[in-house]
Structure 1
C-alpha cells in the first residue's frame, strides 16, 4: 500500500508554543496549514477538514475529549488524526474510540526553544495495526522538517516517559523540598548544586502544571516511584557502589 502524502494540514492549538513551531515547520515545507483555535466555528472547522490530509492536535491531554467533540463530526475518515502529547496511552485510546479513521500518536521530545547541538527527535506510534502507513507518512513529513523520528508503541513510550519526565519532576520536587529544611543551606551552594537548581527552575516555576498533568496521566508513574524508592533504600543501606555501577550504563557507548 502506498503511504499517503501529507500536503494539507489543520492544527488545533496553532497559536500555542508547539503549535507555532509546527505551523512554521510545515509551512516552510510547502504545506497548506490551517489554524483552528478557540473559539471554534463549525463553518471554519468544516472548511478546514473537508479535504484535510492531517489534523494535528496541539492541545493539553485534559482538553482532548472536548476538542474531539468539535472535530470528529467533520473528519472524512481519510484524514490522519494526530496528537503531540507527552502521554500516549490515554490520548490514543481516546482518539481511537472517537474516530474510525487513521490515528497516529506523536511526542516531540523537545520544547519550542532547542538547546545548541541538540538533535530534535519525535516518537511516533500508530494507533492501530492498520495505521502503520499513516504513521510512516507522518514520520516522512516530520523528517522533511529536519526532525529525527523513531517508531514506538503507546506503552513503551509511557513507560520510558514515566522516568524521563514523571520521575524527573517528582524526584526534583521531593529533593528540593527536603533540602529547604536545612537552615542556612543557601550559604553552601556548590557549582554542581547550582546547576541542578538552574535546571529545576523552569520546571518548577513555569512548567509545574504541565508536569503535574503528565504525572497524573501516566499510568506507570506510581510503579516507577516505587522502584525509585527501592533504589533509595539501597543508598540508605550503604550500597552506593552497586548504584554507581548501574548508573554507569548511561555512558556505556563511550570509548574508554
Structure 2
C-alpha cells in the first residue's frame, strides 16, 4: 500500500470562474499554496505560471467545462508532475475521468461540486 501525503500546493485551472474563485479563496484560508491559471492558457503569463507551478504541484483542480478537459490537459499536461493528483469538478464523470486518465499517469479524482446558492460566511451548509 502506498503512503499518503498531505496536499500543500494546489493549482486551480479556471481560477477566475465562480467555483474557481471560491476554491482559491478557501485553499488560501486553509494555508495552502494556491496557484491560479485561466484562459487564455497560451498567454505568456499563464505559460510562465504553469511552468513554475505545475511540476511541483500536489493537486491540479480542473474547474473547467467537461468538453474543455482534453484541450486544457493538451495545453498543460506536459508541465504536470507524474505524481500530482488531477481532479475535476464536472457534474458528469465518465468521459472527463476517461480523458484525464488517458492523458495523466498519476492519480485521478472525480468530484462533484454540489454548487448552489452561497451561504453567508460562517453559516452552516445545508445539503
Check whether TM > 0.5: yes
For 1:98 and 1:61, the matched residues in 2 are separated by: 15
* Alignment check: 8 A CA contact 1:79 1:101 kept: yes
Shift of 1:118: 3.6
Shift of 1:117: 5.4
For 2:23 and 2:51, the matched residues in 1 are separated by: 22
For 1:112 and 1:62, the matched residues in 2 are separated by: 24
2:102 matches 1:88 = no
For 1:55 and 1:16, the matched residues in 2 are separated by: 15
Partner of 2:54: 49
2:113 matches 1:108 = yes
Question: For residues 106-139 of structure 1, what are the alpha-carbon distances to aligned partners after superposition, in whole Å with 9 as ceiling and x for unaligned?
Answer: 111123614875436xxxxxxxxxxxxxxxxxxx
RMSD: 1.7
Shift of 1:55: 0.4
Partner of 1:13: 14
Consecutive unaligned residues of structure 1, counting only runs of 5 or more, are: 121-256
Partner of 1:34: 35
Structure showing greater radius of gyration is: 1
* Alignment check: 8 A CA contact 1:17 1:112 kept: no
Number of residue pairs matched? 120
Q: Per the alignment, in what secondary structure is the counterpart of residue 59 of structure 1? A: coil
In the alignment, which of 61, 77, 85 is matched to residue 82 of structure 2? Answer: 77
Q: Per the alignment, in what secondary structure is the counterpart of residue 24 of structure 2? A: helix
For 1:117 and 1:29, the matched residues in 2 are separated by: 17
Shift of 1:43: 2.5
Partner of 1:126: none
Q: What pairs with 1:165-176 in structure 2 (closer than 5 Å)?
A: none
The TM-score with structure 1 as length reference comes to 0.44
RCO higher in 1 or 2 (8 Å CA, sep ≥ 6)? 2
Partner of 1:60: 65
Q: Of Structure 1 and Structure 2, which has the larger fraction of its residues in helix?
A: 1
Partner of 1:24: 25
Partner of 1:246: none
Change (3 A) 1:71 1:111: farther
